[in-house]
């Protein structure tokens, strides 16, 4: 049998292992904790304020108002509009201030809305890639 030393406590262990059984336990526990911490951080970076905003009553009311004012017509192609787009994305500081500003809104069909965001994404790809799914 080939022996080597535990990476952590330097106790002799048999070859294919990296840690002795005690250290293995500690290392695994730390890994779990690290993962949890990392996930926490990740969740924090995906700010729930946008999600909360889209679920908020003022936004839903404003969206309805905008859609009915446009008679549910896409401002781009005149097909049925079902979505309201923020011209200045609410993920930006400026856009957040304008999130309930009627003039910052555009009634769009699904197609045109997707196009809007693709165009937006290619212009500022890196910056907004991770937030893209949150932008409506
Ligand atoms: Zn050990
Ligand atoms: Zn359209
Ligand atoms: Zn949008």
Report the first-to-last Cα separation within the chain, whole angstroms.
62
Q: Evaluate if pTM is beyond 0.85.
A: no
Protein residues placing their CB within 5 Å of the ion ligand 2: 74, 76-77, 79, 109, 112
pLDDT digits (tens, 9 = 90+) for 104-129: 999 999 999 999 998 655 555 545 55
Alpha-carbon span 29 to 128, nearest angstrom? 35
**Structure confidence at residue 132 (pLDDT):** 52
107 alpha carbon – ligand 2 mean position (Å):
8
**Structure confidence at residue 3 (pLDDT):** 79
φ/ψ bin of 83: left (φ > 0), alpha (ψ from -120 to 50), beta (otherwise): beta
pLDDT digits (tens, 9 = 90+) for 32-78: 888 888 777 666 556 789 999 999 999 999 999 999 999 999 999 99
């Amino acid at each position: 049998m080939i022996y080597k030393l535990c990476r952590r406590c330097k106790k002799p262990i048999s070859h294919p292992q990296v840690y002795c059984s005690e250290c293995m336990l500690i290392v695994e526990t730390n890994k779990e904790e690290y993962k949890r911490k990392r996930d926490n951080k990740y969740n924090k970076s995906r700010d729930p304020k946008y999600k909360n905003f889209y679920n908020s009553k003022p936004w839903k009311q404003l969206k309805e108002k905008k859609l009915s004012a446009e008679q549910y017509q896409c401002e781009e192609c005149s097909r049925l509009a079902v979505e309201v787009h923020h011209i200045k994305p609410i993920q930006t500081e400026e856009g957040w201030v304008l999130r309930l500003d009627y003039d910052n809104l555009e009634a769009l069909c699904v197609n045109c809305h997707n196009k809007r965001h693709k165009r937006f994404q290619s212009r500022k790809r890196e910056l907004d890639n991770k937030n893209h799914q949150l932008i409506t």
